[in-house]
Amino acid sequence: MTSVLDLAPVVPVVVIDDAADAVPLARALVSGGLPAIEVTLRTPAALDSIRAIAAEVPEAVVGAGTVISPDGVAQAVAAGSRFLVSPGWSDRLLGAMTESGVPFLPGVSTTSEVVELLERGITDMKFFPAEAAGGTAYLKSLGGPLPQARFCPTGGISLASAPSYLALPNVACVGGTWMLPADAVAARDWDRVELLARGAAALRG
């Protein structure tokens, strides 16, 4: 895998409270056409969930999100993460992600952050929080002076707003949660999750 940005038009951003839900949830997303799954390290069940998906859903490309420390990098990779996503970055975090050997998306929200990453040879980035940080207008304005930067905007993006992001040449995919409504996950309605995933996967034919 060269870049998580090229796997699908939408990367589901998943918060899992019960590791028992990880495998059926991942299977539903993959069946719906979304193979890249970002499991956020926000819950005690996250690492066990990544382990389960990596072991039992080989067709999924499972990664870790909300990676904010070198320890988090090490734990995520040891659990089987095939990519890493951070909401922002520091020198220490960037160093750890680079040394992990796993593809990663460091988070940015300012032009200076983008320029500094480009100076380091990093062109694939997460734009976060997308809507709060300026949305499509901001990303479009970055495309002129910094065309080599490619983004996965995440944060506040919906099924309705995703197409406007995906229409931008510097946006390769978007991150979102709308295919995982809380009531469907709570009810373990994986058929509904798969249906919503299909809609997301069809956003870019």
Q: Look up residue 115 and give its amino acid.
A: V
For this structure, is 126 an active site residue? yes
Which of 70, 31, 72, 27 lies closest to 52, judged by CA?
27
How far apart are alpha carbons 27 and 193 in whole angstroms?
Answer: 10
Give the H or E element holding residue 107.
Answer: strand 107-108
159 to each of 50, 88, 201, how far by Cα in Å?
Answer: 25, 24, 11
Catalytic residue among 38, 59, 113, 140: 38
Q: What is the dihedral of CA 166, 172, 175, 181, to 10 degrees?
A: 50
CA angle 197, 23, 27 (to 5 degrees): 35
Q: Residue 38: phi, psi to the nearest 5?
A: -95, 110
Catalytic residue among 59, 119, 126, 194: 126
For this structure, is 140 an active site residue? no
Residue 36's DSSP bridge partners are 61
Catalytic residues: 38, 126
